[in-house]
Structure 1
Amino acid sequence: MAEALISSLLPIVVTLFLGFFAGWRKDFGEQQAGSLNKLVMNYTLPLSLFGGIMTTQRASIFSHLAVAGWLLVAMVGGYLVVVLIARFLLHQSTALAALRAMAIAGPAIPFVGPTILGSLFPSESALLISLGGLIMNIVQVPVTVIMLSTASQQHTSVGANLLGAIKKPVVWAPILAFIIVLCGGQLSPAWAKNFTVLGSATGGLALFSSGIILFTKQPKLSLPVWVNSLAKDIVLPAVMFVIMLAAHTPTSILNMSLMAISIPTAAIATIFASQYHTAEQEMASTLFLSTILSVVTMGFIIVVRSI
C-alpha cells in the first residue's frame, strides 16, 4: 500500500518540482504560467470535464446514491461551510473565500484517485472517481468561477457577472454534459478520445504551471497555508468520519467515502488563483504542503481502518 501511495502522489511532487525548476532556469516565467493557465481554463479543462462526464453511465450514478450522497455532503457541504466561515466570520474577500473553500473541500480525485482508489477498491474505483469528478466539475468549479468573476468585477451588476461567468467554457461544459447524461446520453470510448487527446493534458499542465508559480511567488508555509492543508487532510476527513459513524454507515461505503475525501487538494485552486491574481502564493504552497501531508494522513487511515 505504501507503494500505491508513493506512486500516485510522487508524480504530483515531481511535476511541481519540474515547473519550479523551469522557473529557476528562467525557461518559463509568470507570463508563460499565465498563458498555460489560460490554455487550461479555456481549452484543456473544459474538454476534460465534458469528456469525463459524458463517459459516465447514468445507471452508475443512481445505483450508488449512498456514496454519492456522502461525497456530496463532504465536498459541497464542506465548501459552503468554509465559504461562510471565511466570508462572514473572518470577513475575508469573496475571491479568497472561494479559493480557500476549493482548496479545502476539493480533493484531487481525478488525478490521484486512479492509483490509490484503484488499488484499495478495484471494482468500485471507477465509480468513486466519476462521482468525485462530477461533484467537483458541476458544482465546485462553476460556483468558484462565478464567485471569482463577481469579485473581480465589483462595478458590474450581479446579473451581468453571472452571465459572464456562465459563458466561460469551464462552467457551461460540465453542466451541459451532466444534463445530457441524465437524459440518457453517453459517449463511447471511441468518441471520448476527441476530448481526451487535449483534455488529458490538464493535470500535467496545471501542476507544471503551479510549480512555476511556486518559484515566482516563492513557497511560504504561512499560517493560512497550514490551516488550509490541515483542514483538507485532517479536519474534513475526521468530521466526515464522525458523521458517517453516527449515521451507522456500512463499513464498505464509509471506507470508500473516507479515502476519496482524504485525497490531497487539487491543482485547480492554484490555477484559479493565478487566473484571477488572488492568493497565488498561498494556493501553490497549500497544494505542495497538502500533498506531502497526505502521505502520512492517508497511510494512517489505511492502517487504522484496515482498508
Structure 2
Amino acid sequence: MLLQTILSALGPIILGLLVGWLSGKYGFIKREYSQAFADFVVKIALPFALFLAATQASPSIFYNIDYLLALALGLLISYLIGFLGGKLFFKHDKKNSAMQALSVSFPDMAYCGPPVLLATVGSSGLIAMVIGNLIYTIIILPFTMMIISGTKQGKGIFQSLLNAISQPLVFLPIFGAILAILGIKLPEILQNSVNEIGKTSGGVALFFLGLLISGIKLKVNTEIIFNVIIKNIVQGALILGIGFALGLETELLKAVFLIGVLPTATAVPALAISYKTYTDMATGTVLLSTLCSLFSIIGGIAIVEMM
C-alpha cells in the first residue's frame, strides 16, 4: 500500500519530466519553446485549474480558523525563511530572494497532493489542497509578484499590487473562492469547459520542465540543498508543530502535515522562466526536491500512520 501510494504520487511527475527531457535532448521539440509552455501554464491553464478547485470547495472550509492557521503559518514561515536566506546568506536581490522563497515554500499540491492525500486520509484530505492553493494565490503569490514587478520596473507599492492582482493566477482563484462562499455554482457546461483547459496544467508544466532542463547541466549546490531541506523537511515539521499547538483534530492534522512533505511545485520554474529570474536554481530545486520527496513522503506517511 505504501509503495503504491509513492508510485502514484511520483510516477506522473517522473514520466512528464522524462518525456519533456527526451523531446528536448533529441530535438523533437526545440528547447526555446519552453517559454511558450511556461506562459501557457502560468497565465492560462493553472489559473483555470485553481479557479475551478475554488468554486467546488465547501464554504465551511473557509471558516475553520485553526485549520487555516496551521497551513497558512507553515507556508508563510517557510516562505520567510527562504526570503531571508536568499537575502542574508546567498546575497540575492529582492526579486531573486522572492523567487527563492517560492522555491522553498510552494508545495506541489495540485499534482502530488491528490494521490497522497486520497490514499492516507481519504477524500476529505483534498480540502487541505484547496485551502493551501487559495492561501498561495490570495496571499503569497500577489505579494511575490508585487516584489518582482516592483523591483523590475521601479513601480510604487500600490501600482505593483494592482499589477499582481491583475494576473489571472491571482484574480481567478480569488473570484472562485468568492463564488464558493456565496454558494454560486457554475453551470455544468461552463464547469466542463473550464476543466478541459485547467486539467492540462499538470502535464504541460511537467513537460515544459523536462524540456527546459534538457539543455541545463544540473548542479547540486549548497543553495539548492538548503532549499530542499526547508521545503521537504522543515515545512512539514512547522505545520505539524503548529497543528499540535492549535489542537487540530487528527484527520485535519494529517492532511495539512502531508502538504508540507510534498516536493516543490512544478509551477515555480514556470513562474521563474516567465519572469526571467532564478530559473536554473528553481529548476534544480524542483528536480532535487522531487527526488528527495520519495523519502519525505514515505516518512510523512509513516508519521501519519502513528497518529
TM-score w.r.t. length of structure 2: 0.90
Q: CA separation in 2, counterparts of 1:158 and 1:135?
A: 21
Which amino acid letter does the alignment assign opposite residue 270 of structure 2? I
* Alignment partner, residue 86 of structure 1: 86
Counterpart of 1:16, as a letter, is L
Question: Deviations 1:238-267 (Å, cap 9, x if unpaired)?
Answer: 233334444554433332221121111101
- Stretches of structure 2 that go unaligned for 5 or more consecutive residues are none
1:18-37 map, 5 Å: 18-37=19-38
Q: Does the 8 Å CA contact 1:23/1:216 hold for their aligned counterparts?
A: yes
In the other structure, the counterpart of 2:72 is: 72
Aligned to 1:299: 298
Distance 1:41 1:245 in 2: 35
CA distance in 2 between partners of 1:251 and 1:284 (Å): 35
RMSD: 2.1
Query: Given the superposition, is the C-alpha separation of residues 249 and 49 from structure 1 closer, same or farther in structure 2, using an over 3 Å criterion?
Result: closer
Where does residue 144 of structure 2 map in the other structure? 144
SS at match of 2:107: coil
What SS does structure 1 have at the residue aligned with 2:110? Answer: helix
Does 1:122 pair with 2:149? no
Task: Give yes or no for contact 2:42–2:169 (8 Å, CA) kept in 1.
Answer: yes
CA distances 1:165-207 after superposition (whole Å, capped 9, x unpaired): 3322222222222233333333355532121111111111111
- The within-5 A match list for 1:171-250 is 171-187=170-186, 190-250=189-249
- Identify which range, 49-58 or 250-259, moves more after superposition: 250-259
Residue number in structure 1 paired with 2:47: 46
Aligned-partner Cα distance in 2 for 1:12–1:44:
17
Q: 1:8 — aligned with what?
A: 9
Kindly indicate whether the alpha-carbon contact (under 8 Å) linking 1:110 and 1:132 is maintained by their aligned counterparts in 2.
no
Name the residue aligned to 1:262.
261
Distance in 1 separating the partners of 2:217 and 2:75: 29
The question of 1:131 aligning with 2:136 is answered: no
Give distance in 1, aligned partners of 2:242 and 2:283: 30
- Counterpart amino acid of residue 87 in structure 1: K
Runs of 5+ in structure 1 lacking a partner?
Answer: none
The equivalent of 1:104 in structure 2 is 104
Name the structure 1 match of 2:163: 164
For 1:39 and 1:179, the matched residues in 2 are separated by 25
Write the deviation string for residues 110-150 of structure 1: whole angstroms up to 9, x where unpaired: 21111110011114123122222222222233222222222
- Shift in CA distance, 118/189, structure 1 to aligned 2, threshold 3 Å: farther
Q: Take 2:188 and 2:82, find their aligned partners in 1: how far apart are those partners?
A: 37
CA gap of 1:29–1:95, structure 2 versus 1, over 3 A, is farther
Runs of 4+ in 1 over 6 A off after TM superposition: none
Q: How many residues align?
A: 305
How many angstroms apart in 2 are the aligned matches of 1:186 and 1:77? 34
SS in 1 for 2:37: helix
State the 1:302 CA deviation.
2.1
Note if contact 1:220-1:281 (Cα within 8 Å) is conserved in structure 2: no
Percent identity (aligned): 23
Q: 2 CA distance for matches of 1:249 and 1:184?
A: 26
How far the C-alpha of 1:223 sits from its partner, in A, is: 1.4
Is the CA contact (8 Å cut-off) linking 1:218 and 1:281 kept in structure 2? no
Matched, 1:284 2:283: yes
